[in-house]
Every structure is written in structure tokens, then in C-alpha cells.
Structure 1
Amino acid sequence: MEYQTEVVIVGAGAAGFGAALSLVDAGKNVIMLEKGDRYGGAGMFGAEGLFAVGSKLQQASEDDKTRHYKLQDAIEEMLNYTHHRSNARITRAILEKSADTIAWLQEHGMETELVNNTQEVHQDHAMVYHQYIDKFAAFDRMKDYFEAKGGLLLTETAGQDLIYQENQIKGVKAVKADGETIEISCQAVVLADGGFVGNAEMVAEALTIAPEFLYSMGERKATGDSFTMLEKLGVETRQHRYFENHAATVVSKTNPKWRNIAVFTLTNLPFLWVDAQGKRFVNEEIVYDFALWGNATYTAGGYYYYIMDQAQVDFLKTNVLDWTQSFERTFVTLAHQPMTHQVGPFPTLDSDLEEAAENGAAFKASSLQALAEQIGCSSQSLKETVETYNTAIQQKSDTEFGKSETFLKFPIAEGPFYAVCPISTSLGTIGGIPANEAFQVLYPDQKPVKGAFVAGNNATGMYDNSYPTLEGISCAFAWNSGRIAGESAVKLLNQGVSAYYC
């Protein structure tokens, strides 16, 4: 089957819709390809909102920090986080457009609300998180708008090859789920199919930890198709492939559907954590910043253990603990409920831990030496770690990592002892395809691939090697880069190839 259009968009998530709506608003003919049977991608199914700076909602906020938080503040925060190992022009382009995108989303059917930041350690930061309101209905409205403007959405259709002739993009070859191939003639393509987290081979190549220690929450259908298509044209996509590390989680080695609320909740608390050597590796309060927690876990080898003794387990079975579990604010913000800053009790914790052990996610031993043998670390290292930690609790001072006195509560004293193993968690991949601030795809010599644009998790430029701490930034990057890529394609169509790339 053959089609003819002006622009093909590969991927119908936030980045794809950002590009698609920008193009149809300019009166252009667009075909959007979606590999799955449902549109929306991680921007709908995973995200709950997006970052912005300077939006009308922020300008009207009663919070002084929020009203006074300016574009340059956000730019400097991002560039400082990446140690300037990122593209400052891309960073400015994304953040500068972010306020307008909130209004633009509203115009296209997506309402948002400015909410408190959803992570505990960000409460003193200006409010930047614009939470979706009724996101599924909003994406339906955007899809209807796209089609009403003449756009064509083809689901269960994956981009397969780029047609490149006369030194420019001339079309896209695609394949449907039933194996039927289609060919679409076009003048430009926007590659927005979400990265490569669903491609096990690409993931293993990019990881610096063993693949078994990465739990992916990303789009399984994001299999790096755009990377493969562009590599055939000589684009280098392997230099900047990174992971959107986000917290850590406990998973079963045998049952991917296994969940245990008590074990998961305890993972979100700053107990005693040790790495594969049986040593502490971080102030466990890092649990309250998901990006940094994710980075620390990844750096530790992709996994660690939180350690408890029976006295701690018994306490948690019968008492309310006046600590905040790190995901509470995320959940209650979404549900518009008040914070409790409490967890527990967990009356079935003994059996919960047994269940975790049966699933290969926890260990129990009568002695620290036996526990060390089970988790594969030096018994001497674990013994010394516990002794040092217990001393910190007695002295109410953690001279090793600086944990707050509030969290120096549970000594590790008498068995049985427990070790629960969280592993690295990723929301997806970030980067790989080189781009400039117009989101033109670039060859290794920095010259553009004529007619090719990139957006969302595919695009390199704003990140270094880790996910930043600004809440909602990857979703904002998707929407804003998609809009910019779409607008760039409009300029190409209006000016013609020769004038646009002169």
C-alpha cells in the first residue's frame, strides 16, 4: 500500500503529538505512525504531568519562590546538574518554550494544574510540576483534533526504513502488525518513537550494569527503530545512550507479576542500605529524590540490600512509624489527598518477607555471617558496617554519611536478620540520536540529515548521563521537542530544502 503526505511522524506519544498538532495547525498534511494498538505512549500511560517555568499558573501562584522562579534560574539549574556536559542551546530552547506549552496544551484539549512538587526533598523548590487533568480523555481530544485537521493516524504500524534519495528524505517504509508493508512518500520525517528500552540487545550494549539488575518501566514497543533507520544513513547513535534511572524497586526473579505492598513500602524508607560488598554507599535519605536514588543504585552496581533485624521487623508489625515513605507525596498529590508522613503497621510482615524470599528478592539468616554468605559479601565487611551503623545510632551522629538523627532509629542487633534487594529502575532511555536546537538530526560532521527531525527520548542534547532532578522534565522535553521539531518541519516545507538548509 502506498501513501503520499508532507510529513511522517514515527511515534504517537507526547513528542509525536507535539509535532503532529504543530504541523496540522500550520495546514500541513501529516501521517502519524504508532507501533502499538493504542496511541499516547509514555507521555500518557506513564507520565502524570510535566515541568514548566514561567507559566501563567506559576505567575499567579501565591508562593513567592514559584512566582520568582525565572527561565534563567531553570537553565542554570539544568546546566549545573549536567556540569555543562549538555547542549546549552537545546536546554534554552526546551525551557524557553515550556510555559507556552502549558497554554498550548490547554488550547488542544489538555488541562493541567500546578501542584506541589511530588518528591519530599523538593518542597523548598519553586513549584514546577503541572499535573495532567483527566489525561486519557485529553489525549483522545488531541487525537480527534489531529484527525479533524486532516491528519491520519495509523496504529499497529512501525517505521522500518527511511527512503533517502538526492541527499534528502523522500519517504518512509513501514510495516503493519499483520506483516503488510506500506510506503509513504514525504518531504520530512519526525522520529519520535520513544528510545530503545524495549530492545534487549541495545539495552545490554548501553548498560554498565548487568541487565538482570535493570527493571524497566518504559515502553516495551520502544525498540530503537529510529536508531536503526538512521544508522543505515550514517548517523552515529551509540555515543549518548543513557537510562532514565528513577528510584529502585524489588522484583521477583521468577514471577514478573509479583507485588507485595509491605516490602515495596519499606523499600521507600531510609533504613540501613549496603552494597554488594556489604558496605554502606550513600546517605539513605537519598530515597527522597528519585533521580538521585536511581543514580546511586545504578552506581552501586544496579542493586543493594536494606538490612533489618527481628526487633525492627517486630516494631514495624505493631507500630506506626512517623517517617514519610518517599512515594507518598506522589500518590496523594495525584489523588488530591493530605499527607500523613506515616507508615505502618505491617502486621503480616513476617510472612511478607518469607514471600519475598520465595521470590528471590529477600534473604533471612540467624546470624550476620550467614546473611553475608547468602548475599555474597564479606562477612567481615558486613559486621563492620553494622557495628559502625549501630555506633552512629548510639551517638546520634552519622559521621560516615551524615544521615539525620531522625532516621538513626533501628540498630541491627539480634537475629534473625533480613536483607531485601531493590534493583535499578528505569522509566526508559534518554538520548542517542544527535540533534541541534531545531531538532534536526545530525551526521557525525554536525551537518543535518535533510528532512529528518527527532524528538522526545530519541534525542540527544539536554541530558548528560543521568536523569535530572527537575520534576516532569522528560515529559516536558517530549512535548517541547516535539513542538519544535514540528515547527522546524513547517519551515522546511515553507522555505524548500535549498533555502532552509542554506
Structure 2
Amino acid sequence: MKQLKTDIVVVGAGASGIGAALSAAENNARVILLEKGNKFGGAGMFGAQGLFAAGSRLQKASHINYSPKDAYVEMVNYTHYRSNTRLTKAIIDKSADTIDWLAKNGLQTELVNNTQEVHQNHPRVYHQYIDKFNGFQRLMNHFASLGGQLLTDASINSIDYVDGNIMHVTITHNDAKQQIDCSKVIFADGGFVGNHKMVDSYLTIDRDYLYSMGERKATGDGIQILAQLNADTSGLGVFENHAASVVSKTDPKWHNDTIFTLTNLPFLWLNRRGQRFVNEDIVYDFALWGNITYTNGGYYYFILDQPTIDYLKTHRLDWTDSFERTFKTLSHQDMTHTVGPFPTIEKDLQDAINEGAAVKEQTLAQIANTLNFDYNTIQQTVLEYNQIINSGFDSDFNKSEEFLQFPVSQGPFYAVQAQSTTLGTIGGIAVDEALHVLDKNGQIIPNLYATGNNASGMYDTSYPTLEGISCAFAWNSGRIAGEDAAKSL
């Protein structure tokens, strides 16, 4: 078996792993970075477009008065103090420096508007990558120039850990077993959203209703190894709920632009009992939209009647697609705050029906029968909703008057299913503010670190509404762990 030797092994080459590996190498540590796939970057590169920071140089230059203290107070209030306050402070305090650190190492960012419509009155915190893919390559080039080694197609199998000391780790690299002698290991392999068995252990909804946009390679390898070493796993089970998606029952790659846009608008939503359950303009806050979908069993239906279809077919609607600002920000285009018209809407809805994602019936009674609703419940729900439309005041959930436009009155009726969507798991192993792994008694397990989606403590039960915070947690937790591991060699 081939033997390698280094100071630190970093498992996973996404944002937190690159942050850890490069920071350790900058502090004169020998580092081997393992990546299970054949490309580095992970969700931090292929999924994210930027990251959160508070008090950055870019914010100060734009006269944005939002300090790390402000961000800390907002975060711990959001979690109701059901989070690791020392870790939260460490991550936020590091965030501004990380923007400069990324730029120094080749990944520039720009301060842009917050990318969700509902957050426009919040101080700007979103630092969007510039020249993302080349920027990540420059980070890795610098890592290599400092003597760092990247091994792709490499996964960790086990740790030989005796009396607080790592003797070696065993990996599989290009289908061959190897051993690496090292002093410390930083687990940055992205949580466990790609492990169906682990997901099922913590999911409170049927997995059939969970649409995962997370990293498929994140199969919980690091978490499982650390659990065997008595690490505290009590924080596992938090999912990064994010919006809702209309999903084909047969084709995971299916996408229809019209259906996608309709999903991002505040029409009438019904839960699995045929009841209205929320102010539908929650659609403009992705985390809260994701949470309410998950809470209601992982899915709901948005309902359209034929007069609404006829209107949308030929008219522009002065509503904002909830994802428009995200896409316009990325491409530096101006907002339109309009959608439609949708001249092919009936064909597009039939496409969703063919994919098992929607149903069409002539009457509400037939809709109730097809979706297993109680007819009296859906009839009463629609009656009350139409009364709300007529009055222009939502006495149930306070929906904005501008969205009280379309009653549901004349068939045929369409019901389109929107499912719970996750970007990954954000609950992992318990850590302290230096990202040391903690055991079930809250004590440090020496020489082991967990970062990014492998670590718990930043969140309680929800992905926060601070834009870019999970990507910021990845970069900053990685940097903190890498620096700490290197200085204590």
C-alpha cells in the first residue's frame, strides 16, 4: 500500500475545504487536500454565486453601515439563541477579512444588491464572485505554489486514531488504497445530503417530496467517521430548505420555463388537506418559503382556473418573479418587475401534467377526488379566498392587496404540485469556535476539525435569511480551522 506523509489532511475540496487547505498552507503547514470527485470547487463554486460579509471594505466604501455586531445580533435573534454564540461571532467577525483574503488570492468579489426582493431594505451584504471559475483556479494555483497537494478521485475510508493522536488515514485514490501519515484532519466534505439512508434518518417528510439541489458526493463520510470516534452528533438533521420546485415524477432534468415562473408567484396555495395555509407572498423569501413548504409535509399545490389562464395567456402581469432579482443581479441587468404574457401556458401546463407534476379537472369536486382532498374543505377554502379577492383585504394571512387579483371560480381547474427543496444539510458535528470537533460531553477531540456543512452550531432549525450566510460559513469555518490546525502543529 502506497504511503504518503503530510501535516494536515483536508477532506473535501469545496469552499470550506479550499479555505482550510490554503489557510493552513499559508501558515507553513504541509497539506494534502482530498476531493472525491474529479473536479474541485463543490457547491461553493458550482452552486453558490457569492457570500455574506459584514463590515467589509466594499461595504464601507459604499457607506453601508452594517457591522459584525449588527450581524451577530440579527443571527442570534433569528436562532432564538439556540445556536453556538461563540462560533457565530467567530464566523461573522472573520467575514470581512475573508473578502480581502479571497481577493488577495485571486477570487475577487463585488458588493451587489441583496438578491431577493423582500431583502431590499436590508443593508447590502451579498458579495458576488467576479470571474468565478478562473478565480477558484487561481486559489488552487496558489495552494499548489505553497506546496499543497490536491488528490482528486480520492475519498477517506478510516482514521487510525489512538489516545488523541492520528497515526494515519486510509484513503481510496484512483481505486487504489493508500495511507497518509498526518497529525491533523479537517473534515470539509459537505454534510450528507447525498446519502439517502442518512437523509431518511433525519427527514420529517417523505423523501419522495424532497427535491435535492445539493452536492450528490456529500454522503456523510466524515460525519460517520467522527461519529465512530464519539463526536457529538446531536446537531444532525437540519436541512437547508430553499424555495419550492415543481418536479417531474420521471425525469429529474425536466424544466419548463413557464411552470418555473408560475411557481415563483403568489397565487392560491393549498396544503395536502386542501386548505390555504400561508400568505403566499412568502414566495419572495426563499428560506421562509422553503420552511413553510417543509412544515406542510413537503408539498403544496398552487391553483389556477381557466379565466386566470386566459388572462395570463395574453396579458403582462405586473408581479415580480421571485427569482428575477437573483438572475438579473448575476447578469447585471435591470429589473422588469413583470411576468408574461404566457402564450403557450396551456401547452406548458399539459407538459406538467404529462410529467406527473400537475392535474387538470373540470370541477373542484374532481380536483378534490384526484388529490384526495375533502371536497367540503376545498370548497370552503376557495369560497373564502374568493371573498378575500372581492374585498381586497386578506383577513386570514395579510396577503398584500396587489396580489389579490385572481379568484378561483370557473373550470377547468389546474393544480400544480410544488415540492420541498433543499440545498443540502446544514446540521453536522458539534464544534467549538475554532472548529475543533467536540465529543458528547462537550470536550475537544484532539486533532480533528469539522467545517462547512459538516459542522453544527451556526443555525438552529433553519437556513437563515441573511443572504450568502451558508457560503460564508463554509469559507470562514474553513479558514479558521486551517489556521488553527497549522499554528498548533
Q: Check the 8 A contact 2:27/2:487 in 1, yes or no.
A: no
Q: Distance in 2 between matches of 1:413 and 1:56?
A: 54
Aligned: 1:399 with 2:400: no
The amino acid of 2:211's aligned partner reads: Y
Residue 84 of structure 1 corresponds to 81
Query: In 1, Cα distance between the equivalents of 2:231 and 2:464?
Result: 26
Structure 2 CA distance for aligned equivalents of residues 106 and 148 of structure 1:
17
How is 1:11-410 mapped onto 2 (pairs within 5 angstroms)? Answer: 11-62=12-63, 67-178=64-175, 180-410=176-406
* Cα shift readout 1:173-211 (whole Å, capped 9, x = no counterpart): 111242x11110100000000000000000111100000
Q: Distance in 1 between matches of 2:7 and 2:156?
A: 16
Shift of 1:391: 0.3
Residue 383 of structure 1: SS of its match in structure 2?
A: helix
User: Quick one: distance in 2 between partners of 1:216 and 1:238?
Assistant: 23
Which residue identity does 2:49 align to in structure 1?
A: E
Q: Give identity over the alignment, percent.
A: 58
**RMSD, aligned α-carbons:** 0.8
User: SS of the counterpart of 1:158?
Assistant: strand
Match of 1:445 among 419, 441, 462: 441
Residue 169 of structure 1, CA deviation: 2.2
What is the SS of the residue equivalent to 1:394? helix
The alpha carbon displacement at 1:160 in A equals 1.2
Query: Aligned with 1:68: secondary structure?
Result: coil
Query: What secondary structure is seen at the aligned counterpart in 2 of 1:170?
Result: strand
The aligned amino acid for 1:54 is G
Deviations 1:374-413 (A, max 9, x none): 1121111111110000000100000000001100000001
| Partner SS, residue 428 of structure 1 | strand
In structure 2, what residue type is equivalent to 1:28? Answer: A
Deviation for aligned residue 1:238 = 4.8
- Name the amino acid aligned to 1:129: Y
Number of aligned residue pairs: give it.
488
Counterpart residue identity of residue 191, structure 2:
G
Q: Deviations over 1:268-314 (max 9, x none)?
A: 00000010000011100100000000000000110000001000011
AA paired with 1:25? Answer: E
Gaps of 5+ in 1: 494-502
Distance in 2 separating the partners of 1:351 and 1:193: 42
Unpaired runs of 5+ residues, structure 2, are: none
Q: How many angstroms does 1:166 deviate by? A: 2.9
Would the aligned equivalents of 2:275 and 2:378 in 1 still touch at CA under 8 Å?
yes
Taking the aligned partners of 1:375 and 1:92, their CA distance within structure 2 comes to: 47
Q: Deviations over 1:49-105 (max 9, x none)?
A: 00000000000115xxxx221111110110011111001100000000000000000
Structure 2 counterpart of 1:336, one-letter code: H
Residue equivalent to 2:7: 6
Please list every run of at least 4 consecutive aligned residues from structure 1 whose deviation after the TM superposition is greater than 4 angstroms: none
Per-residue deviation, 1:167? 2.4
SS at 1:174's partner residue?
strand
Deviation at 1:239, TM superposition (A): 4.0
User: What do residues 229-285 of structure 1 show as CA deviations (whole Å, max 9, x unaligned)?
Assistant: 112212232543210000000000011111111001100000000100000111001
Question: Retained in 2: the 8 A contact 1:170–1:188?
Answer: no
Distance in 1 (alpha carbons) for counterparts of 2:223 and 2:190: 11
1:499 corresponds in structure 2 to none
Q: 3-state SS of the aligned residue for 2:446?
A: strand
Q: Which residue of 2 aligns with 1:487?
A: 483
Q: CA deviation at 1:168?
A: 2.1
Is the 1:168–1:449 Cα contact (8 Å) retained in structure 2? no
Note the alpha carbon deviations across 1:351-382, whole angstroms, 9 max, x for none.
Answer: 11111011110010000010111112111111
Find the counterpart in structure 2 of residue 415 from structure 1: 411
Using the alignment, how far apart are the partners of 2:65 and 2:163 within structure 1?
Answer: 51
Contact 1:372 1:382 in 2 (8 A): yes
Task: Give yes or no for contact 1:11–1:191 (8 Å, CA) kept in 2.
Answer: yes
- Give per-residue Cα distances to partners, 1:135-174, cap 9 Å, x unaligned: 1001111111111110000000001111202322232111
2:118 is matched by which residue type in structure 1? Answer: V
Secondary structure in 2 matching 1:163: strand
Amino acid of the structure 2 residue aligned with 1:7: I
CA distance in 1, matches of 2:107, 2:390: 53
The whole-number CA distance in structure 2 between the counterparts of 1:377 and 1:160 is 48
Contact 1:22 1:483 in 2 (8 A): yes
Contact 1:240 1:465 in 2 (8 A): no
Q: Is the 8 A contact 1:392 1:398 kept in 2?
A: yes
